[in-house]
Amino acid sequence: MANDDREREMRFSLWGWGLFVACALFFIASSLQSHNLLSLIGSIIFLVACFVFLYPLVKRNGRDQGK
């Protein structure tokens, strides 16, 4: 039971971070369209931060799949 809850929580976390990545990509596209350099820099930093938070989740999920 606890394993099912852990998998469900992991799935929700990955979906949530995936949505954040999608938002970051839209922010980047919007800043490119409006030629706003400050927004572009902020959006790229936001995208990188999303990947930094995603990395341990994906790494842990891959390690759990191997068991």
Q: Report which of 34, 58, 30 is spatially closest to residue 44, judged by C-alpha positions.
A: 30
Number of domains in the chain: 1
Altogether, the residues listed in the chain come to a count of 67
Residues of the chain with pLDDT under 50: none
> Which structural domain range is residue 28 located in?
2-65
Q: Report which of 45, 44, 50 is spatially closest to residue 20, judged by C-alpha positions.
A: 50
Task: Give the pLDDT confidence of 46-56 residue by residue, as tens digits.
Answer: 999 999 999 99
Q: Report which of 55, 50, 54 is spatially closest to residue 24, judged by C-alpha positions.
A: 50
Q: DSSP 3-state assignment of 55?
A: helix
Q: Report which of 52, 50, 13, 58 is spatially closest to residue 5, judged by C-alpha positions.
A: 13
> How much is the pLDDT for 12?
92
> How much is the pLDDT for 58?
87
> How much is the pLDDT for 18?
95
